[in-house]
Structure 1
Amino acid sequence: MKIEIISWECKGLRCPDMEINLMSGENPAHVALIQMPNGTGKTTILSLIRAALTRELSNWDAEKIKSYRRHGDNNPQGSFTLNLQIDNEFLTFKLMFNFEEGIVDSLPSYSIEDLESKINYYLSQNQHLHEKLEQKEKDLIYANEKVKTDVAELMDKIRKPQLLHLKFRESLIELKDKFDKAELPEKASRQFFIDLCNEKDCICGRELNDEIREIIKQRANLYLSNETAGFLNSLKSDIKRDLLSDDNGTEKSFKNSVDNLQDIKDYQQLIDDEIEYLKQEMINNGNNEVKEWKEELDKKTKEKNRIESELEEIEREPSHRDDQKYYEKTNCLKALKQWLEDEEIKLAEISNTIEMRQKKEILQKILKLAKTKANNNLRESIRNKCNQKLEKILYRDPISISDINHSITLKGQKAASMGQTLSVGYIFLTTLLSEGQHQFPLLVDSPANSIDITVRREIGQIIPSLCKQFIAFTISSEREGFTYTLANNADNIKFLTVFRKTETTKQLEQALPSKGVIDNKNCVIIEGKEYFNNFDLLHY
């Protein structure tokens, strides 16, 4: 897959209104250098590109959205459009800012988080209904907590069978009476006979010898142990305390708990319905766009719940619900894997291919090991290629990479200078991009600001060979040693200069070239290498 940036356009935002076209003939320029003095909007444009291509918008609050309005302007709206070319197909992303409401729409589609944020913001604007909605949501929180408490209380009572039905209570009382009549466990304690063996005479008065003592010890096992006797005594005490002290309040207590839980569940459902009604009423009072948001949100939420349910079923642990006879009705991956393994063992036994199955398992282990080894070799290959380039570029101040894992580890040092760090970053990114099957643009702000001229020349020479599209926002002080080398090594290069229209830049406006100039309301865009190389705001 090949992704290239074709152009972008800003309107009504804090950066100047501009349309930047990166095409060079029928294809995007291999290298595009966009010279913009500080304060022209480089950081803003980079954040807009990132927001258009990621889910970052869902984390933007109203205050941040409104911060993109140009200072001193009262324009209610603004927009940013990003045009891409993906494998010769065109794709457009558009961010539409509503500064009055503090929301931003994203095309081609909204995420669930975007829709919820937009709807919630709209609902908050109707003060009267919003206050009612807030109160109902507080009531729902109370109802949810009460349901949890009542369920815990009911589960505690379910663990006491005498509370479930009068028959359980009567049966337990009858059990205690039978224990009492049989004088259990007092007369059936094993410890009594064990203690008797230590006496000189039996309770009947006859003298005990070793033979009689051994018989008593053997028969003592027919009687209750201390643990069992203790359990029976505890059971009788519990029955006396919990069942004989109240004639009929127990079953009634359980029934009351069930009724209370049902009441709070009904209340919970009522509040939930009222909240949905208030939201729908507020949406119905709005425009068609809000209704479309709600319909799209409901549709996407339903689809999300369906997918999450299927994933949960796939990832769950096996249970008694899984029946191998009806394997086609089971989506539990672990159960299916276990059944497959069991059947493979049976098949191997039947067909006398146990040895073949063992060989297959060995082969699978080899393949898994090979994958791990390939990843390690790839990491090592990238590390070596990066170090070879770093040795050439930073020959006066050598630095090398010792490991590449979740981050880059430098050999013999924990940190590096700004110039070294930037050089390592360039080399790693360009090497990584050149190794993969997918091609992405590399977009950089101030690409050579912290690098000395010699290193600039080296990096400027290597970037075009390792990157299919390189876009850089530069300032005039970065030109020396960098742009000339880039131009000599790129297939084609596009030079653009952008500056704001202010009192300070009026002299610049009077010295514009005759060709390649786009004069907007609040900025000027000039295409051309000569103007790019001669431009310096401080000279005017």
Structure 2
Amino acid sequence: MDVKIISWKSKGLRVPDWEIDIDPENGKKTSVLMMPSGMGKTTTLNLLRFSFCDYSNILEKKNISSFQKSKSKEDKGEFVLNIKVNNEKYRIKTIFDFNKKSLSYETTDPIDGTLPGLNLPEEIKKYLDQEYIEKTFFDLELVDDLFESTAAIDSINKLYKLYYFDQVSNALDSYLVKKQNESETENISRRELEELKNYREKLFKKRDELITENEKNKTEYENLKKEKKKYEKIKDDIESSKKSIKEKFDTAREKISLAKNDLKRAYDDYYLKIRNPMLINKDFKEKLINFEKNLNNLKIPESVGKAFFDDLIKANQCLCGHEMNEEMKKKILESKESILSEDTWLILSVLKHKIRKESDNEIIDLNDAISLIAEKKQILSIEERKENEIVEGIDDKKYDDAKEKLLKINEKIQLLDDFFKKYNEAPSKQDTPDDNSINKINNLLEIVGKKIGEATKTEKISSRIKVIKDVFKKTQQKSLNFLTNDLVEKINKEIPRVMPFEKVFVKDIKDKITLEGKDSGSAGQQARIAYLFLIKLLDRPNFNFPFIVDSPATAMDDVSREEIATTIATHLNNQYIGLILPTEKTDFVDVLEKKTNNKINLIVAFNTIEKETSNLIQLAKKYNISKKNNEEFIVSKNNKEFFWEFKTNIKNNI
């Protein structure tokens, strides 16, 4: 069975209304679709998932609206996927009704034409459930699940259909019930037999309820663990921040103190300069020098005495150089007694000395001093703002919210732990149909089944069915052990190549993936091991299905990128589609090109309605690529030069 994606087209959804063509008919089974961040990589991955598995009853109504195009008034959107199944063409249309918050399907096939619903060929339906789709359409969120929950072992059970053993066992139980209903009653009355059968029906119902509740609780438990991890990180980050807050605050206060001292020194320097008026104004300096010269000419203050003022009144000019008039003479006569005091002449002596001292100095430019004050003020303002940011960064509300969330999550986890503990309790003589232990209910079923078998003479059939079920159970466990051991061996065989400098080996996959000699690996290590796990898990000769990965080279160094790309190109028989960011090209796409002998589709897609994409539009024009008609996007296929030059930060490259 061979499934290939040919193309897809969207309308009215969160991704642009574009068509992406990756037809592998030309031998290019590897495709790389590059989009800037925020333009729909993860949305595209989910839309592809929805096309292969009926999510109409899986996707919550509240999440339907998240696929609606931003600011759109359209109440419907659609995603059309074209595929080939054994070279027969199929078209799957996923229809979003945003008013009704519903999901529906239309399928066009080569025999029946277009019909409502998701109608894929029967031979592939048996493989395509939610579990399979979410492994083959892979994003990095799955990595944590493989290492922290039962996702790894659940994947093996479901992808290899080991649960068929359980289904056959249940069918054998149904067959036994049918035979017992058809048999004549012996040893006990018909009423007693009916009571036993009703009792058994009650146990069957209880068993089914427990199994359903257990599956639901397992899913909830994993989700709660993720939530707990999220809020623990928030809480730990805030606590870590609080521990260093005093040090940060003290540092900020010290910088503010230094900035204030620097500003004070700048003001002091300015004050010292403006205290000497001779050096800040040229005209004023010249007048003071002239004043001092006239004092010298008249021998002041040496010629202190009444004669000096008498001579001054008779003179044609004053000391300051002005023409002497009658009003000035009158004023001198009135003031000469006070002026003749010794204090006055002492001041004049000091003034003359100061004028002489500063007369040869240059005029000072106060602009430099003013600029220095402004600079120091700005530095102080910056440091005070930083201090405020530190204070505002103490988010007590967020911390309290995280603690409250964790308290509620832990309460729910405790309830689930109690459920799982009871669910796995061993049988005892005091067991009742109201017990919440699957082992106890199964034990009661075995007891009542034996009684009914004796009453209906079906012991031999019951005994044979029990033997067959035991064989199935052992075969199921042996198969699981074989598959996990085989996967571990295949993964570890690739580790030296994929992680040549680290060599982190897988120990086991009993429930989750565990590593040799350590509790967990780094994000990059776990991502690479997850890749190997999925590639080996999906390597099935009887079913060839696309493997699609969102952000395939994230959290990997150059060596890891190269080796994962080599693994994809040389070990993966499936069609491969990588949804990448521009930053993931290097050491990944170039290796894919080389290892596939250039049999690879290189696609660039971005919308053109954002202001930030104007540079991308100009870059596209450089390679004769432009949008058509009124389209709000550009899609380029296999323009290698454009693909390799394309990056979101290109301001200096055009």
Normalised to the residue count of structure 1, the TM-score between the two structures is: 0.53
Aligned counterparts, 1:149-188, within 5 A:
none
Superposition pairs for residues 380-529 of structure 1, below 5 Å? Answer: 380-467=485-572, 468-490=574-596, 492-501=599-608, 502-512=610-620, 519=628, 521-528=631-638, 529=640
Percent identical residues: 26
Measured after TM superposition, the shift of residue 370 of structure 1 is 6.6
DSSP 3-state at the match of 1:58: coil
Match in the other structure for 1:90: 89
Partner of 2:77: 78
Matches within 5 A, 1:196-275: none
Q: What is the correspondence of 1:2-41 to structure 2 with a 5 Å cutoff?
A: 2-26=2-26, 29-41=28-40
Distance 1:34 1:324, change over 3 A: same
Residue type at the aligned position of 1:49: L
Q: Distance in 2 between matches of 1:319 and 1:77?
A: 49
Measure the CA separation in 2 of the matches of 1:454 and 1:31. Answer: 20
Corresponding position: 1:538 with 2:649:
yes
Question: Could you tell me how far apart the structure 1 residues matched to 2:555 and 2:539 are?
Answer: 24
Q: Note if contact 1:10-1:79 (Cα within 8 Å) is conserved in structure 2.
A: yes
Q: For each residue in 1:477-510, what CA deviation from the matched residue of structure 2 results, as whole angstroms up to 9, or x when unmatched? A: 1111111111111262000001110222223223
CA distance in 2, matches of 1:313, 1:436: 31
1:438 Cα deviation after fit: 1.5
Q: For the residues of structure 2 that align with 1:90 and 1:320, how far apart are their CA atoms?
A: 46
| Aligned-partner Cα distance in 1 for 2:180–2:488 | 51
Structure 1 residues 533, 339: closer, same or farther in 2, change over 3 A? farther
Shift of 1:394: 0.9
Classify the secondary structure of the residue corresponding to 1:414. Answer: coil
Residue 413 of structure 1 aligns to a residue whose secondary structure is coil
Q: Distance in 2 between matches of 1:401 and 1:4?
A: 32
Q: What letter corresponds to residue 43 of structure 1 in structure 2?
A: T
Q: Give the secondary structure class of the aligned counterpart of 1:511.
A: helix
Counterpart Cα distance in 1 of 2:511 and 2:80: 33
Q: In 2, are the aligned partners of 1:4 and 1:441 still within 8 Å (CA)?
A: yes
Q: What is the distance in 2 between the residues matched to 1:70 and 1:26?
A: 34
Decide whether the 8 Å contact of 1:30 with 1:464 is kept in 2.
Answer: no
Q: Could you say what secondary structure the match of 2:520 adopts?
A: coil
- Amino acid of the structure 1 residue aligned with 2:644: N
Residue 99 of structure 1 is matched in structure 2 by 98
Distance 1:317 1:23, change over 3 A: same
Residue 379 of structure 1: SS of its match in structure 2?
A: helix
- Check whether the contact 2:616–2:650 (CA below 8 A) recurs between aligned residues: no
Cα deviation 1:358-403 (Å, max 9, x = unaligned): xxx9999889867754542332222111001012211212211111
- Cα RMSD between the aligned structures? 3.8
Contact 1:84–1:92, Cα closer than 8 Å, also in 2: yes
- Residues 46-67 of structure 1, C-alpha deviations (whole Å, 9 max, x = no match): 1222222224332444442223
Tell me, what secondary structure is at the counterpart of 1:538?
Answer: coil
State whether residues 30 and 490 of structure 1, in contact with CA within 8 Å, keep that contact through their aligned partners in structure 2.
no
Residue type of the partner of 2:648? L
Shift in Å at residue 25 of structure 1?
3.8
Structure 1 residue 22: deviation in Å?
A: 0.8
- Aligned mates of 1:538, 1:447 — CA distance in 2: 21
The C-alpha deviation readout for 1:86-114, integer Å capped at 9, x for no partner, is: 22222222122222333332223449xxx
The one-letter code sitting in structure 1 at the alignment partner of 2:96 is: F
TM normalised by structure 2 equals: 0.44
Letter in 1 for 2:632: N
> What residue ranges of structure 1 are gaps of 5+ in the alignment?
112-310, 327-331, 346-356
The answer for the alignment partner of 2:228 in structure 1 is none
1:230-254 alpha-carbon deviations (Å, 9 max, x no partner): xxxxxxxxxxxxxxxxxxxxxxxxx
Q: Is the 8 A contact 2:56 2:104 kept in 1?
A: no
**Contact 2:4–2:545 (CA under 8 A) maintained in structure 1:** yes
Per the TM alignment, residue 432 of structure 1 is displaced from its structure 2 partner at its CA by 1.8
**Structure 1 residues 410, 320: closer, same or farther in 2, change over 3 A?**
closer
Question: What is the one-letter code of the residue matched to 2:536?
Answer: T
Distance in 1, matches of 2:519 and 2:512, equals: 12
**1:381 to 1:98, Cα distance in 2 relative to 1, 3 A:** closer
CA distance in 1, matches of 2:172, 2:565: 53
Count of residues paired in the alignment: 323
Distance 1:517 1:439, change over 3 A: farther
Corresponding residue of 1:58: 57
CA distance, structure 1, for counterparts of residue 461 and residue 526 of structure 2: 56
Q: Which amino acid aligns with 1:97?
A: F
Secondary structure of the corresponding residue to residue 57 of structure 2: helix
Report the Cα distance in structure 1 between the residues aligned to 2:612 and 2:476, rounded to whole angstroms. 61
**Closer/same/farther in 2, CA of residues 65 and 396 from structure 1, 3 Å limit:** same
Q: Is the alpha carbon distance of 1:30 and 1:339 closer, same or farther for their aligned partners in structure 2, counting shifts above 3 Å?
A: farther
CA pair 320-398 structure 1, distance change in 2 beyond 3 A: closer
Distance (whole Å) between structure 2 residues aligned to residue 341 and residue 89 of structure 1:
51
Give the structure 2 partner of residue 123 of structure 1. none
**1:516 and 1:527 in contact (8 A); partners too:** no
Conserved in 2, the CA contact under 8 Å of 1:33 and 1:474?
Answer: yes
SS, match of residue 620 in structure 2: coil
Find out whether 1:379 has 2:484 as its counterpart: yes
Unaligned runs of 5+ in 2: 108-115, 119-169, 186-200, 202-448
**1:451 counterpart letter in structure 2:** M
Q: Is 2:11–2:18's contact at 8 Å kept on the other side of the alignment?
A: yes
| Structure 2: distance between partners of 1:23 and 1:74 | 33
Counterpart of 2:496, as a letter, is E
Change (3 A) 1:390 1:101: same
Equivalence for 1:119: none
Deviation sequence 1:136-175 (CA, Å, 0-9, x none): xxxxxxxxxxxxxxxxxxxxxxxxxxxxxxxxxxxxxxxx
Q: Deviations over 1:195-218 (max 9, x none)?
A: xxxxxxxxxxxxxxxxxxxxxxxx
User: Which residue identity does 2:637 align to in structure 1?
Assistant: E
- What is the distance in 2 between the residues matched to 1:482 and 1:517? 27
Is the contact made by 2:617 and 2:626 (CA closer than 8 Å) also made in structure 1? no
For the residues of structure 2 that align with 1:457 and 1:407, how far apart are their CA atoms? Answer: 27
The one-letter amino acid paired with 1:384 is E
d(CA) in 2 for partners of 1:536, 1:320: 70
* Counterparts of 2:470 and 2:16, CA distance in 1: 59
The offset of 1:425, in angstroms, is: 0.8
